[in-house]
Chain A
């Protein structure tokens, strides 16, 4: 079974935010509006963390796109009281929106604050209704959600492969953030496939993972930013 993972090159990332927007469109993420956004209630599954280094005028800015890291040993899954967040058959961390009781324990257990909560009934403007992605469940008021590595695309790719009676090819399954990235900073694929680029990149000497010492085994690697 492939171990799906991602490598994000921080040298290439410009912080343009197109991955964030692509993710919103792909996953039917509700528009919260200006005021809730100011209250810190954005629902983005993909967030860009900006790190500032140094004093003005010599500031170095690093943009870190942060999806869910789909940890190998996810702290959120451990604490869920109702099996609403779980490791699915593809090794990704899934959410069951129709079972979640909204206790938000998983949000607080996640060391990366990757999850978000529907504080109100998620609203999507009428004119956007036609743009909704039919493959992704629309969430309801009071449940927790997070990045799924576009798991619906994997399901679709598997189905297509089975229909065409062939093995699943890695190019069949790509995430929305990757497709939209103008600088090709994101690479996605099977981390254990030594043929694949993602495997070479994760073994590069620039590769690191966030808060690696926690033992959560994130499946998202970053390539350290280096000044040239």
Chain B
């Protein structure tokens, strides 16, 4: 058992085997925030949704914004990891696990948000008893539960060989690893079955992921409210989701690289590649935003213009322009210059993108409701302490979940790295050889 300390990948085992004091401190703080959020929610249950800042015309607020936001972030993972695996990008190996963990945890948090938003959470089962499949909310329930199943399985299956490693080489939580590894021994047959399962899953998971955020956008775009009723919303939401997800992945990678000293595994090149993806999606996002508003402005339909004016120059102008700055201007500037594109630079840009994407959700949900078609007097929406508490609680649950996961399972896939060192290297070389015309000679000599 002792040889694990001399293993070249010991850094990856260390978070599981050794825990320092600061970890317990962070956990305590997170638990305190969660307890506070729980207390606030119980108060909301007792009193009613009146404890929020919602009113008659603006009846969707923080809970729905955070629902869209968290589900958006959950696209980081599974989608990115599935695309990288499918395209056989070799640099994916240390990244995929973290991406998948983000998905599983954030998706769970996001899925809870509509329930927080219900006036009668005690009647939630009516959705199954009297569900109307014509309602976009039912499409959501279907798509999210399917995505959650697919993404947790997709997290779990590639985890099995690592659990088997932990079972064989460590003494902690033996019962858990014994149970979760399902007797995986790493034989040829086991490997083949595992690989096939992964291949099937990653093909399934991509359309499911795309469908989830499309369907979430349908909640808004299926109504005839100005600012919501837009055909572009499906792809717009999906792009925004991958955008915010990539940013979250980068933030988590940089944070845990520092915390667990993964410098040897997560190198400059990973951040360069991922931030390139971030920049591409930033430009995509800007393109969609531009198309969304230019059609509205050019068409000059009065109701639509009311809302656009409200976003551009009205009460929501600070949020709107902050969003443009954080989601487009800053990322594109910082990520285009080599000097600025350091790991620190990428970290701050990603944090900005997360905030910017949250603002985007805010700007989609609230202004349409604060500008009703009929000339009502609308009271502006100011979120209450309860809503802030539940927001912070959601973020804390995410951090806590991620930390606890890192204490039970390796955050970087050990077996996939090992596979990369042995098979991946040869495979990549063989693949390159197969399509580069000038190395035919080299290939020929290799065969001799």
Residues of chain A having any CB pair with chain B under 8 Å:
36, 38-42, 47, 49-51, 64, 66, 75, 78-84, 99-105, 107-109, 111-113, 116-121, 141-144, 210-211, 214, 216
Complex contacts, A214 vs chain B, CB 8 Å? 224
Q: Which of the 9-residue segments B99-107, B125-133, B339-347, B400-408 touches chain A?
A: B125-133
**Contact in complex: B126, A101 (CB < 8 Å):** yes
Complex contacts, B131 vs chain A, CB 8 Å? 81-82
**Contact in complex: B120, A83 (CB < 8 Å):** no
Answer yes or no: B222 CB below 8 A from chain A CBs.
Answer: yes
Interface of A: prevailing SS: loop
Complex contacts, B170 vs chain A, CB 8 Å? none
Q: In this complex, what residue of A is CB-closest to B125?
A: A101
The answer to whether residues A118 and B48 also contact, given A49-B374, A105-B137 and a CB cut-off of 8 A, is: yes
Within the complex, which residue of A41, A64, A75, A111 is in contact with B55, where a contact is CB–CB below 8 Å?
A41
**Contact in complex: A117, B119 (CB < 8 Å):** yes
Complex contacts, A100 vs chain B, CB 8 Å? 119-120, 123
Q: What are 5 of the A-B contact pairs (CB < 8 Å)? A: A104-B59, A111-B224, A111-B225, A113-B56, A113-B376
**Contact in complex: B136, A79 (CB < 8 Å):** yes
The answer to whether residues A142 and B49 also contact, given A38-B379, A39-B379 and a CB cut-off of 8 A, is: yes
Query: Top 7 A-B pairs ranked by shortest CB distance?
Result: A102-B119, A142-B119, A40-B379, A40-B55, A119-B50, A81-B137, A81-B135
How far does the alpha carbon of A107 sit from the alpha carbon of B55 in the complex, in Å?
11
**Contact in complex: B222, A79 (CB < 8 Å):** yes
How far does the alpha carbon of A40 sit from the alpha carbon of B132 in the complex, in Å?
31
How far does the alpha carbon of A120 sit from the alpha carbon of B46 in the complex, in Å?
9
Complex contacts, B373 vs chain A, CB 8 Å? 111-113, 211
Within the complex, which residue of A82, A108, A109, A141 is in contact with B119, where a contact is CB–CB below 8 Å?
A141
How far does the alpha carbon of A121 sit from the alpha carbon of B49 in the complex, in Å?
10
Task: Give the distance to chain A from B131, nearest Cβ to Cβ, in Å.
Answer: 6
Answer yes or no: B264 CB below 8 A from chain A CBs.
Answer: no
**Contact in complex: A103, B114 (CB < 8 Å):** yes
Within the complex, which residue of B50, B114, B225, B377 is in contact with A36, where a contact is CB–CB below 8 Å?
B50
How far does the alpha carbon of A17 sit from the alpha carbon of B442 in the complex, in Å?
92
Complex contacts, A116 vs chain B, CB 8 Å? 56
Complex contacts, B225 vs chain A, CB 8 Å? 108-109, 111
Q: In this complex, what residue of B is CB-closest to A105?
A: B137
The answer to whether residues A143 and B119 also contact, given A41-B50, A103-B137 and a CB cut-off of 8 A, is: yes
**Contact in complex: A105, B374 (CB < 8 Å):** no
**Contact in complex: B59, A117 (CB < 8 Å):** yes
How far does the alpha carbon of A36 sit from the alpha carbon of B56 in the complex, in Å?
10
